[in-house]
């Protein structure tokens, strides 16, 4: 099971979260990564935690002011990137180009989508993984695995019907170890969460709860 903690633009201490994630990953044997703001990728990666970018732009080197260059985040220490998060939507063509840009830079890719139909379209672009995350549940207290388990199983089936090499992650509302187990039982191979760790009073305790039964 893969746990990817998205720090978004929350006012948390990224180094404290990264250090906690690194330590819990080492102690539990569970793969855990942290996705900070682009400007913090280098300092987060220096903790030794697996580090992901929150986004890469659909362009290469050139006159692209304000873009997030895949090569730049890789050079800063990122090993993977989210693409098309619900809070940073892109067109299908932009997603395709961003996936190719990330692969060119040696980054692992996870494309986010709202529903099984979008998951199938995303899987056809051959990212390493896709994450199903209904936007109405993002940041809430109810996980998608509990609120709408069918959307998770349907997403797994949708991705598998296109390319069974694409892993399916479960996002939106994940915050407890029970949520992680529920997602796993529905066929997800990873989870994508944010506030459950980034807003926690004790990020290490939150992470320990997530991996307790894995």
Q: Just list the catalytic residues.
A: 85, 133
Residues facing residue 169 across a β-bridge:
131, 190
Q: Which of 210, 193, 173, 207 shows the shortest CA–CA distance to 16?
A: 207
């Amino acid at each position: 099971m893969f746990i990817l903690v998205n720090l978004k633009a929350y006012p948390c201490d990224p180094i404290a979260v990264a250090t906690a994630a690194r330590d819990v990953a080492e102690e539990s044997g569970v793969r855990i990564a942290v996705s900070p703001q682009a400007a913090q990728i280098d300092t987060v990666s220096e903790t030794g935690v697996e580090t992901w970018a929150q986004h890469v732009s659909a362009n290469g080197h050139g006159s692209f002011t304000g873009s997030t260059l895949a090569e730049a985040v890789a050079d800063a220490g990122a090993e993977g990137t989210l693409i098309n998060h619900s809070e940073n939507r892109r067109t299908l063509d932009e997603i395709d180009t961003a996936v190719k840009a990330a692969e060119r830079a040696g980054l692992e890719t996870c494309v986010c989508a709202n529903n099984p139909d979008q998951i199938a379209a995303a899987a056809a672009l051959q990212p390493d993984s896709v994450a199903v995350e209904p936007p109405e549940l993002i940041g809430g207290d109810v996980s998608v695995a509990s609120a709408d388990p069918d959307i998770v199983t349907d997403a797994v089936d949708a991705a598998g019907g296109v390319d069974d090499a694409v892993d399916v992650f479960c996002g939106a509302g994940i915050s407890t170890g029970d949520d992680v187990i529920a997602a796993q039982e529905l066929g997800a191979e990873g989870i994508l969460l944010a506030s459950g760790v980034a807003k926690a009073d004790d990020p290490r305790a939150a992470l320990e709860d997530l991996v307790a039964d894995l």
